[in-house]
Amino acid sequence: MPDAALVWSPDLTQYNFGPGHPMSPARLNLTHALAEELGLTSPDAVRVIEPVTVTEDDLLAVHSQDYVEAVLRAQETGTHAHRMGLGLEDNPVFDQIHTASARIVGSTLAAARAVWSGESRRAFSPAGGMHHAMPSAASGFCVYNDLALAIRDLRSQGAGRVVYVDLDAHHGDGVERVFWDDPDVLTISVHEHPTTLFPGTGYPQDVGGPGARGSAVNVALPAGTGDAQWLRAVEAVVSPLVEAFAPDVVVSQHGCDSHAHDPLTGLSLSVDAQRRAAMVVAELADRHAQGRWVAAGGGGYEIFNVVPRAWCHVLAIVEGRPVPLQTPTPPDWQAQVAAIDDMPVASTMSDVGRLGTREVTETFRPFAEGYDPADAVDRAIIATRRAVFPDHGLDPLP
Ligand SMILES: [Zn+2]
């Protein structure tokens, strides 16, 4: 019996803002197709489970009644509520906006419950990761905050302390907001600097409310940051904090819009580095959270070559059998991508050849071995460590 779960239902692709919107449901279909072709959905690899049903009451654990009612009204009558982000360019109103958004919540809740009940040690909700959704507003393509609701659910079921790791190129502002004053939920977001990217928040000095100092952590990296430096930041900040915080469960968001080919952001990663970061999270959960790990998807707008490969790597790591980087992409999947887009299809599960970058393992240097104050990424790392490490009894300097 596999000890990993994947939450999947074709209905999850009904979360669809319409033609031309960057968050195309094709990214989920192409991810699922690649996972199938790679054998990652077979019964010996993973338990595939359905999203749980989510009621309006369930949503009130994070969202305001006014907001949930506005989303319902939008679904029933097409009414916009611009004050609440509904009907703005980023978050157009669509037919099933309430039902489809609640189903995404059900996906990540199913993952969280599978892990907390002990049925699965690890679980992945690729359709989840809606980290910008605010208690009373839709924002940045996100309607309901599945991550915050899953963390609340874990807490109500008995998880004392939860670490949330957000690897998306954008700041995980919605999740941070919900737990800003909660010292038992540590939110860590590693993102492109707020001066160059939506939502314009997530500075290292933003560390949580007065009773929860150090429970919000922000690493703001310069546009253009590549594999080795990004991984250096992840390890230098996330690893010591997770160890010091000693959570009961780790929840992570694997938005892959940090990729060099993503059309919306300025970070410059490969899927190789994104895969490496997922391995770091898995190892941290194993060492410091009894293996309990709930992973979710997130942003990612190069939907043909990037999202499917990035998230299949996450799934394989959740399953405890990472896909080797040199694995060829299956011909049937390549044909499926070629049929909807004319860009060259990735021939392997690695980007080293495609991006002209070197192997992450060759370029990575740990922060612990010393840092360079002249380097912008190292300065960002130090700023974050200075802001929060003392609150956790840690030394900001390596
Ligand atoms: Zn994003």
CA 291 / ligand 1 centre spacing (Å): 26
CA 220 / ligand 1 centre spacing (Å): 14
Strands 4-7 and 47-49: parallel
CA 60 / ligand 1 centre spacing (Å): 24
Structural domain contains residue 384: yes
Q: What is the mean pLDDT of the chain?
A: 97
CA 298 / ligand 1 centre spacing (Å): 6
Handedness of CA 31, 108, 122, 192 (dihedral sign): positive
Q: Which two tokens stand for residue 271?
A: 């899927």
What pLDDT, on the 0 to 100 scale, is given for residue 117?
A: 98
CA 166 / ligand 1 centre spacing (Å): 10
What pLDDT, on the 0 to 100 scale, is given for residue 356?
A: 83
CA 168 / ligand 1 centre spacing (Å): 5
What pLDDT, on the 0 to 100 scale, is given for residue 359?
A: 84
CA 152 / ligand 1 centre spacing (Å): 22
Q: Is 301 exposed, middle or buried (0-12, 13-18, 19+ CB in 10 A)?
A: buried
Cα–Cα distance between 99 and 147 in angstroms, integer? 17
CA 351 / ligand 1 centre spacing (Å): 20
Q: Which residues of 49-68 are buried (b: 16+ CB within 10 A; e: fewer)?
A: bebbebeeebbeebbeeebb
R_g of the chain, CA atoms, integer Å = 19
Structural domain contains residue 328: yes
Q: What is the DSSP letter of 314?
A: H
Structural domain contains residue 99: yes
Q: Is 172 exposed, middle or buried (0-12, 13-18, 19+ CB in 10 A)?
A: buried
Q: Are 191 and 277 in contact (CB under 8 A)?
A: no
CA 334 / ligand 1 centre spacing (Å): 25
Q: Is the peptide bond before 199 cis (omega within 30 degrees of 0)?
A: yes
CA 379 / ligand 1 centre spacing (Å): 23
SS3 content of the chain, % helix, strand, coil (to 5): 40, 15, 45
What pLDDT, on the 0 to 100 scale, is given for residue 357?
A: 82
CA 43 / ligand 1 centre spacing (Å): 31
State how many domains the chain has: 1
Q: Is 171 a catalytic residue?
A: no
Give the residue ranges of the chain where pLDDT is below 50. Answer: none
CATH number of the domain enclosing 246 = 3.40.800.20
What pTM did the predictor assign? 0.98
Structural domain contains residue 222: yes
Structural domain contains residue 91: yes
CA 287 / ligand 1 centre spacing (Å): 28
CA 310 / ligand 1 centre spacing (Å): 14
Structural domain contains residue 297: yes
Cα–Cα distance between 193 and 336 in angstroms, integer? 36
Closest CA to 296 of 14, 51, 95, 80: 51
Structural domain contains residue 259: yes
Query: Which domain does 364 fall in, by range?
Result: 4-392
Which helix (H) or strand (E) segment holds residue 163: the answer is: strand 162-166
Which residues neighbour 67 within 8 Å (Cβ) at sequence distance 6 or greater? Answer: 84, 135, 136, 137
Structural domain contains residue 398: no
> Which residue is catalytic, options 32, 63, 98, 132?
132
